[in-house]
Amino acid sequence: MNPIYDGYIKFLRDMSGEELPDLKEGYFWLNRQIIKGFDKQGNIHKFYKVVVSNDLEHIEIKKLKSYDDIHDIDLASWQELIDLNKEHLIQIESESLNLIKEKMQKYENYTSIIPVSMGKDSMITCHLVRSLYPDTKAIFNNTSLDCADTYQMVKGFANCEIMNPDKGFYQYVASDHMIPTRFSRFCCRIFKTGVMVSQLDHNHPYLLWMGMRNEESNTRSSYEDEWVNKSEWGKACWQGILPIRKWTEFDVWLYTIWRNIPVNPKYKKGYSRVGCHCACPFYTKSTWILDKYWYPKSYKRWREILREDFVNNKKWIVMNCTLDEYLTQAWNGGTFRNESIEEVVNEFSEYSGIDKSVAIKYFNKACDCCGKRIKHKEVLSMNLKLHGRNIEKFYCKKCLMKEYGWDSKAWNHQIDMFRQAGCELF
């Protein structure tokens, strides 16, 4: 649940065409695209749902069935909610500070550092640690995928070392032809933790103060106060401490406002997360439309990369969607629809220069021998080239190679020959 600032209200007005006179900074909250508010007794009320169009061109602000007239509710401001929850905030602050002192004593021979992303959780963790140990150094892992607001913020952040990767995200995508998805990704391992892991001394004992919380995910729900990233840190003698792991997101925001902790400008624009700008595969339409509105150059740059990847790799066959559907709805996931539709086949035919009667044969094919789904265009093309364009039975690469007695070298040789001959199938 994020507080709604003027920046997001401006976005809502511009993209919906509605005036929204009832919305104002300092009172409202956004949670899963639901605009909410609290009364002065702490009861929550749901007012609107933000619906993003599939083409990312506009939004609709829908009144919810449970809608109460805002004017009939004695709305609590953020400050009034802080006052209402002051005892709780003092308690969780005290518990976190005591934990920090306890772990600092336990690991007195370790060098303390605070990994910061300029996100709300790491900013609070840094605030808490530095309130006791003001000289503690911060480290910002430059993912090369942050926005200008974040970079401007980190450059002005006191006692903070910026660690840069040898090769940036976009360079990596270009050289290794990798598009991260929810099911296959590399970016977190390489750019979020990999930079720090590669540049810090593995033999030196570091105490890492981290802002991870149990509420964030099922995986993190089991984390304790002490945590070690065994998969990423390897044999490094480092120890992670999680001072705010028990805090809720609501706690985080109330505390941030109460203690006047710097807020990344990206949050004020309506984002729930501030990292991995434009290209994170876990973002959805609600974030993509913000990217398009607030950071049009970055949005366009990433979409051009996606467009090129889709066309070059003939992803009509894999995704069962059009190019526009891929760019606006489906690039970060798996198959968009189970069966092909005429619009998809026509577009594939047009881009590939293949007659529609042949193009349709590239979709929804499984190996007649082993049942494996065939996704790669060159395998489907090889079937059509070897067995004729009117075939009904298709075979996967492994089964085709077995039938013809080819190894990988022979397979590649055949593909190259057909391409050099100018066969339109390849």
Structure confidence by residue, pLDDT tens digits, 131-149: 999 999 999 999 899 999 9
User: CB within 8 A of 347, min separation 6: which ones?
Assistant: 316, 322, 323
The answer to whether 399 and 369 are in contact (CB under 8 A) is: yes
| CA atoms of 184 and 334, how far apart (whole Å) | 10
How confident is the model at residue 58, as a pLDDT? 96
Residue 185, pLDDT above cutoff 80: no
Instruction: Give the confidence band of 217 by pLDDT, cuts at 50, 70, 90.
Output: confident
pLDDT tens digit sequence for 353-391 = 989 989 998 998 889 999 998 888 889 999 999 998 888
CATH number of 86-265: 3.40.50.620
Q: Is the pTM of this model over 0.75?
A: yes
Residue 101, pLDDT above cutoff 90: yes
Residue ranges of domains in the chain? 2-76, 86-265, 302-420
| CA atoms of 185 and 193, how far apart (whole Å) | 14
Residue 257, pLDDT above cutoff 90: yes
What is the average per-residue pLDDT within 223-251?
93
How confident is the model at residue 235, as a pLDDT? 84
What is the average per-residue pLDDT within 3-21?
96
10 Å Cβ neighbour count for 253? 21
Residue 191, pLDDT above cutoff 80: no
What is the average per-residue pLDDT within 66-89?
91
How confident is the model at residue 219, as a pLDDT? 85
| CA atoms of 215 and 242, how far apart (whole Å) | 13
